[in-house]
């Protein structure tokens, strides 16, 4: 289960308290504040805190006092302009903090985004739970033949059964050995009263990347959008993409105008190179352009045609 009874009780207590403030609040985000949104088999994402809203972005861009008197339509136009022209500083005025539970191999991808404050659960001080990620059958796929980072056909039949069996048995075995090295039994009772057990900082090294870790991850809106533009992309690994998809929804609740502009200009838009733009202009002008005459290499040409929806 993603949450223990104690964790759920702590969340219920936090959500039962209401505080008054003069700070800007996002009502839709308040609805899910502290709530754990389940992901994968044992993971979750929950929003712990946030600062600012759409108006904070506009305020920073205008360097005005208070929340201003501009209309929402004008705020939207300004945010669209900032997004379209890749201004960053106004979006850095908003911050958000998440509590995330995720498989270690996903965490190692995630930590590559070095523009956040991170505090991770420490297996030097605490014992990791016996929770490891097992992919759903539809996610158990073979290696792609033309993409070193991608997947191909889903494994089926005896081959799939064998892989599932290996994943499960290996994870169960390493956790059994982990607890044996720690000399930890049920309820903290030593397995062998005559042994002191291996130090936690050493025993953890035998665990596989499928085990779950947790962290608090705080970032600003600009860096959040950069993270989401990569990890919510259709080409991102499924196991990190499901987290990004949920975080896009939290962004919609938090800064809905910025969210819409993000989808319009970042997620739904396309970046063109100088040569690619020139090729499109030639096509619009009625010239017949192919890959060789475009000046683009084969991969660039395929990407351009895909973005234009041309077979």
> What residues are labeled active site?
231
What is the rounded distance in angstroms from the CA atom of residue 76 to the CA atom of residue 259? 11
Q: Which residues 6+ apart lie within 8 Å of 143 measured at CB? A: 150, 151, 152
If 0-12 CB within 10 Å is exposed, 13-18 middle and 19+ buried, where does residue 50 land? Answer: buried
What is the rounded distance in angstroms from the CA atom of residue 29 to the CA atom of residue 64? 25
What is the rounded distance in angstroms from the CA atom of residue 295 to the CA atom of residue 311? 19
Cβ(190)–Cβ(117) below 8 Å: no
Q: What are phi and psi of 47, to 5 degrees?
A: -85, 125
What is the rounded distance in angstroms from the CA atom of residue 310 to the CA atom of residue 294? 15
Cβ(248)–Cβ(259) below 8 Å: yes
As given in the structure block, the two tokens for residue 35 are: 């709530």
* Segment (H or E) for 153: strand 151-154
Concatenated DSSP letters of 54-71? HHHHHHHHHT-STT-S--
């Amino acid at each position: 289960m993603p949450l223990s009874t104690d964790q759920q009780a702590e969340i219920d207590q936090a959500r039962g308290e209401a505080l008054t403030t003069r700070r800007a609040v996002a009502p839709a985000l308040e609805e899910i504040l502290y709530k754990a949104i389940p992901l994968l088999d044992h993971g979750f994402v929950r929003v712990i805190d946030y600062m600012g809203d759409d108006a904070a972005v506009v305020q920073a861009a205008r360097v005005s006092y208070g929340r201003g008197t501009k209309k929402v339509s004008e705020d939207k136009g300004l945010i669209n302009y900032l997004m379209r022209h890749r201004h960053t500083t106004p979006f850095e005025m908003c911050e958000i903090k998440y509590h995330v539970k995720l498989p270690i191999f996903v965490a190692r991808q995630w930590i590559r985004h070095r523009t956040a404050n991170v505090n991770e659960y420490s297996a030097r001080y605490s014992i990791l739970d016996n929770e490891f990620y097992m992919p759903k059958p539809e996610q158990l796929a073979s290696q792609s033949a033309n993409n070193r980072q991608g997947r191909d056909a889903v494994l089926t039949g005896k081959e799939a059964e064998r892989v599932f069996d290996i994943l499960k048995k290996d994870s169960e075995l390493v956790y059994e050995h982990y607890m044996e090295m720690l000399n930890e039994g049920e309820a903290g009772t030593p397995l062998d009263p005559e042994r002191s057990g291996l130090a936690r900082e050493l025993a953890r090294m035998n665990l596989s990347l499928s085990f779950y870790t947790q962290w608090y991850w705080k970032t600003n809106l600009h860096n959040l959008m950069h993270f989401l533009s990569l990890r919510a992309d259709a080409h991102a690994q499924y196991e990190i993409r499901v987290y990004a998809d949920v975080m896009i929804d939290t962004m919609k609740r938090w800064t809905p105008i910025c969210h819409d502009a993000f989808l319009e200009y970042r997620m739904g838009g396309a970046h063109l190179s100088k040569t690619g733009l020139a090729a499109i202009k030639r096509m619009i002008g009625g010239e017949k352009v192919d890959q060789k005459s475009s000046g683009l290499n084969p991969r660039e040409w395929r990407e351009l045609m895909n973005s234009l929806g041309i077979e």
